[in-house]
């Protein structure tokens, strides 16, 4: 086997949802250096690619500072059977893109994912640009490139402009200039977790027992052991209004004495408790705390 073939085999493969030029693609290239990116049509496909060993890891958006949680991902996390090994925060610079012959004076419509359209209302209103909902951001940029109409534009990333040969008519057009998306890196569970250290996040899934004040009592262990919970999400199970599952991020390593005690106490009030991620806290949190 030639050296180039060996290197190719060892190249890290990363899956994400969306077309080339999406913000997930941008996050992939920012977080991983020299990785082979594998775009997927759906979040399920991106996750399945990891489970089947077609790629090494998936990078998936979970929260946006303007839009809130990415509901599709949160509903898939419990059943993904993957392990969270990192988080990454991507500042989202939304750009107004157009064809080479277009300008802000010629563009009358903007196509993009509905979430992005909702994040640029002030800009679009100011320039009297009507909105057209697209399947995703990069796909919208590709469509505008193919149509090559100076009256049509797309809201997408700078990387999409480069890939599809479009012009950036105006950068940073989002209403919230601090617009940021949090991504999770997911892979098959490593045999050895990262070592105990400062600024570690542990992600857990749990189902509380069907007893009075179960959630209140379960949360009490984190308070009494001085463990900071930075995220808590709930999910209905099987279409029932009675059964609820929770996803939480806590600060600390599972082997830390305080975290271990909190998890032990949580276990007493739950039917199921799984640790689905242990990873270093992003430095972005320090800069924005």
**List of residues 6+ apart from 23 with CB closer than 8 A:** 61, 90, 92, 137, 157, 181
Q: In this structure, what token pair is assigned to residue 224?
A: 């009494």
Report the relative pairing of strands 130-133 and 109-112 from DSSP bridges.
parallel
Catalytic residue among 16, 89, 183, 206: 183
Q: Is 181 among the catalytic positions?
A: yes
Residue labelled with tokens 């200039």: 177
End-to-end alpha carbon distance in the chain = 50
Q: Where are the alpha helices (DSSP H) in the chain?
A: 3-10, 23-31, 43-51, 71-80, 114-118, 121-126, 137-147, 158-164, 214-224, 257-268, 283-287
Catalytic residue among 85, 99, 137, 181: 181
- Number of separate helices (H) and strands (E) present in the chain: 11, 15
Classify the phi-psi angles of 281: left when phi > 0, otherwise alpha if psi is within -120 to 50, otherwise beta.
beta
Q: In this structure, what token pair is assigned to residue 258?
A: 């305080």
Residue numbers annotated as active site: 181, 183
């Amino acid at each position: 086997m030639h050296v180039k073939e060996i290197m190719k085999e060892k190249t890290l493969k990363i899956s994400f949802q969306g077309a080339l030029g999406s913000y997930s693609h941008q996050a992939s290239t920012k977080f991983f250096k020299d990785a082979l990116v594998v775009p997927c049509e759906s979040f399920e496909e991106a996750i399945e690619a990891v489970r089947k060993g077609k790629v090494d890891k998936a990078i998936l958006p979970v929260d946006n500072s303007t839009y809130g949680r990415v509901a599709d991902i949160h509903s898939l996390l419990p059943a993904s059977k993957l392990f969270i090994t990192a988080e990454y925060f991507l500042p989202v610079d939304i750009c107004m893109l157009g064809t080479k012959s277009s300008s802000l004076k010629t563009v009358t419509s903007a196509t993009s994912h509905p979430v992005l359209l909702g994040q640029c209302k002030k800009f679009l209103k100011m320039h009297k640009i009507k909105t057209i909902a697209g399947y995703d951001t990069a796909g919208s940029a590709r469509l505008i490139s193919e149509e090559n109409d100076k009256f049509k534009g797309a809201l997408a990333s700078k990387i999409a402009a480069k890939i599809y040969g479009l012009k950036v008519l105006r950068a940073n057009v989002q209403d919230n200039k601090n617009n940021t998306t949090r991504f999770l890196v997911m892979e098959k569970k490593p045999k050895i977790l990262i070592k105990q250290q400062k600024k570690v996040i542990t992600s857990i899934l749990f189902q509380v027992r069907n007893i009075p004040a179960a959630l209140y009592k379960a949360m009490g262990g984190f308070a009494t052991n001085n463990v900071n919970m930075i995220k808590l999400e709930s999910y209905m199970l099987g279409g029932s209004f009675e059964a609820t599952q929770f996803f939480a991020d806590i600060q600390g390593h599972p082997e830390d004495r305080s975290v271990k005690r909190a998890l032990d106490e949580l276990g007493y009030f739950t039917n199921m408790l799984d640790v689905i991620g242990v990873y270093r806290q992003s430095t972005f949190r320090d800069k924005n705390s």
